[in-house]
Chain A
Amino acid sequence: MSGNLSILAAEPAKAGFGLRARAFAAQNKLFVIGIVIFSVILLASIFAEWIVPYSPTRIAFADKLQPPSLEHWMGTDKFGRDIFSRVLVGGQTSMMVGAFVTFLAIVIGVPIGLVSGYFGGWIDNLLMRFSDVFLAFPPLLLPISIVAALGPGLNNAMIALAVSWFPWYARITRGAVMRVRKELYVDAARAMGVSHARIMIRHITPNSLTPIIVQGSMDFGFTILAAASLSFIGLGARPPTIEWGLMAANSRTQFLEHWWTALCPGFAIFLTVLAVNLMGDGLRDVLDPKHGTSE
């Protein structure tokens, strides 16, 4: 609106780091909450093996189907296993799934987008039509059919999800590339004989990073949800893998009388995805201020 100097240029000492950090936190409360929750979950997942109160595979029929109590914070399942411990370990699975799928989708999608956007023309057309085919499926349908073909299992599910998601990254990258390609310094680099590949990697990729990071952080959550859903219908993780969706699926015969067997792993998913989404939203607000509220 008015005043066109940033606070740093005018008065660097005026607003110290502490004040700025607090202002940031106050304006982006949700972002901070998301980061905090996610960090807790992440740490809990990483150190799950050390902090579990019971072994997640310890079977004890005598204790089966106990409601949540002080000994078993989330109760026990039909085999007497401590659900809280299993949830903690399941966190490892979900984190890994989220990271791996997003990573793989990026690794597949970004190069395609780079090539497509940079060269344009028939290459662009071909690659984008190819991606369009993947986008033509309603969500979840394609992963389901890929897993159907490959056979159930967490690895196949992850591959299926990554393959279904790469088109988004291809599109984002392509868009960013096309914007940057018009910049003069790209022409200048070409004129100096820098190879196509070099230009793409050194000049264009850094500029496309922001939307990719934003999309990736949002996808992380959806990946976890999708993987859990796949496991729930029997197409994802299989025993003895410990996964939240699978835990919910296994509880189907008892959950009506023993709500904790289904709701606890379900809640874990909810909390994790919520935290990730809040983080993703916050990240997007920070990196891409156009998404703010209007006046």
Chain B
Amino acid sequence: MIKYIASRLILMVGILFGVLTITFFLGRVLPASPANLILGDRPTAEQIVRAEEELGLNKPLLVQYGLYLEQVARGDLGTSLRTDVPVIVEIRNRMGATIELTTLAIIIVIVIGIPLGVLSAVRQNSLVDNIARAGAVGGVAIPVFLLAMILQIIFYGQLNWLPLQGRMDSEILLDVEFPRTTGLFLIDTLMAGEWRAFKSALLHLVMPTLTLAIVTLASVTRITRNMMVEVLGEEYIRTAFAYGVPRRSIYYRHALKATLIPMMTIIGLTYGILLGGSVVVEFLFDWPGLGGFLVLSIVQNDFPAVLGTTFFLAATYLGINLIVDLLYFVVDPRLRAQ
């Protein structure tokens, strides 16, 4: 088992390395003149000089590559050209927003999507099943921004129940002090006992979370249903029926355990979808998270920030997948036997 973990870790490092290489070459090799791209339309003389120094563009490519690798190994992802703050710090400041959003979304997805998928599979072709499947097929086809905009029109434009954008009302943000211990506003405001701030944070979370959740829910429900249907067709399920094991037991013990492994894969994948989808959602809702930062940096041609954030997000995704892989060992006895 140690061997397995070690080999997976090495693989992951290798892939990270590949990711780094790709993102590096994307920035340095592809555009005709990196400096121009990075500096945008009307660079000042100051900016040009600083950029060239910053990027070491005067040195040969491989040397640049080596330097960059060394930099990353030290934990330095470069400095933002726009804000002059180290990228790593920017990431740390914005991580909380994205984590709060994606975690809430994934909780909703798991709590609703998985039981719905299971129910759908157990009662195939029933009303529940058909509604769930219709919802899933529809939900997968809907563009994220359409859903977000529809929600905004209804809940802000027409009903005025929820705020349009942002993470918290700006006045509250300015007036109220609460320590950012976790970076998650819901928790931080509660811990500080700031009720108004908590309410504001909560209201602001509703639409973005719902948007992310609904779109992801569609995929997860569908995949869970298909998985469960496949498991239910397995011979050992038939054996359990043939020996009079009660239905409930069959579904919730036998079938569910078999679906745990694919389920975990799905959750890992879902996190990935969320990380990707959050880019659009954060953009739309002006959410100060990593996705929004990425888009902003791209638009402003802040290359180190783009590179650093992309790498960070990819590494996180890889990390989650690695954890899922390792969890397999806990669940599947067939893997434990070496």
Say whether A294 contacts B232, CB under 8 Å. yes
B145, chain A: closest CB distance, angstroms: 5
In the complex, whether A111 has a CB less than 8 A from a CB of chain B is no
Say whether B149 contacts A137, CB under 8 Å. no
Q: How many residues of A contact B (CB 8 A)?
A: 50
In the assembled complex, the Cα of A278 lies from the Cα of B134 at a distance in Å of 11
Majority-rule SS of A interface residues: helix
A6, chain B: closest CB distance, angstroms: 22
In the assembled complex, the Cα of A140 lies from the Cα of B275 at a distance in Å of 9
A232, chain B: closest CB distance, angstroms: 5
Say whether B314 contacts A141, CB under 8 Å. yes
Say which residue of B18, B153, B276 sits within 8 Å of A133 (CB atoms). Answer: B18
Interface residues of B in 279-335 (CB under 8 A from A): 279-280, 283, 294-295, 298-299, 306, 310, 313-314, 317-318
In the complex, whether B119 has a CB less than 8 A from a CB of chain A is no
In the complex, whether B173 has a CB less than 8 A from a CB of chain A is no
A-B contact count (CB 8 A): 150
Say whether B149 contacts A263, CB under 8 Å. yes
> A133 and B15 in contact (CB under 8 A), knowing A148-B306, A255-B149, A256-B152?
yes
Say whether A262 contacts B280, CB under 8 Å. no
Pick from A44-52, A63-71, A167-175, A264-272 the stretch touching chain B: A264-272
> A136 and B18 in contact (CB under 8 A), knowing A263-B146, A270-B146?
yes
Residues on the B chain within 8 Å of A145, using CB: 23, 26, 306, 310
Q: How many residues of B contact A (CB 8 A)?
A: 54
B331, chain A: closest CB distance, angstroms: 22
- A selection of 19 A-B contacts at a CB cut-off of 8 Å is A129-B14, A133-B15, A136-B314, A138-B273, A138-B314, A139-B276, A140-B279, A140-B280, A145-B23, A149-B26, A229-B145, A232-B145, A234-B299, A248-B143, A249-B145, A263-B150, A267-B146, A274-B137, A293-B125
Taking beta carbons and an 8 Å cutoff, which residues of A are in contact with B?
A: 30, 129-130, 132-134, 136-141, 144-146, 148-151, 221, 225, 228-229, 232-235, 245, 248-249, 255-257, 259, 262-263, 266-267, 269-271, 273-274, 277-278, 281, 291, 293-295
> Closest 7 CB pairs between A and B?
A294-B233, A266-B146, A133-B18, A149-B26, A140-B276, A274-B141, A138-B272
Taking beta carbons and an 8 Å cutoff, which residues of B are in contact with A?
A: 14-16, 18-19, 22-23, 26-27, 30-31, 37, 124-125, 137-138, 140-146, 149-150, 152-153, 156-157, 164, 226, 229-230, 232-233, 271-273, 275-277, 279-280, 283, 294-295, 298-299, 306, 310, 313-314, 317-318
